[in-house]
Amino acid sequence: MGKITFKFETDENKELECEIFEGESILEVALDNDINLNHNCGGVCGCSTCQVYVESGEELMPEMSDKEEDYVDRARNPRFNSRLSCQCKLEKEGDLVVTIPTQKGIIGH
Ligand code: FES
């Protein structure tokens, strides 16, 4: 088990702390906590709309696959710490800090 601190690109003063359990993805935790995060393919590594920026704790999750890397390259404003949130399932106990990019301009759901 661990904790995710969500930060928001659109509001630097806002933070939200949530629990995450092993096997759960960042996307699942975000959606369970009513965070607006697009996920057009439904969480099967088939789009890039669920991109997040992992500020710390990346070592608690699986390494990025080649497929995920391909989609991250196509994301809006990718950064060195971009990951697809649906592919980031907690493997080890610990805490994460994740920034949700602006969802403006993403056509999705
Ligand atoms: S929801 Fe499509 S890759 Fe994550």
Q: Taking the domains of the chain in order of start, what are their residue ranges?
A: 2-100
Sites in the chain below the pLDDT cut of 50: none
Q: Is the CB of 31 under 6 A from ligand 1?
A: no
Q: Is the CB of 62 under 6 A from ligand 1?
A: no
CATH topology (fold) of 2-100: Ubiquitin-like (UB roll) (3.10.20)
Looking at the CA of residue 39, tell me the nearest atom of ligand 1.
1
Query: What pLDDT score does 76 carry?
Result: 93
pLDDT score of 105: 80
What pLDDT does residue 109 have?
A: 61
Asked whether 37 lines ligand 1 (CB < 6 A), one says no
46 within ligand 1 shell (Cβ under 6 A): yes
For 45-99, where are the alpha helices, taking DSSP H only?
A: 66-73
Contact 50, 100 (CB under 8 A): no
CB 14 within 8 A of CB 8: yes
Q: Which residue in 8, 30, 36 sits closest to 88, CA to CA?
A: 30
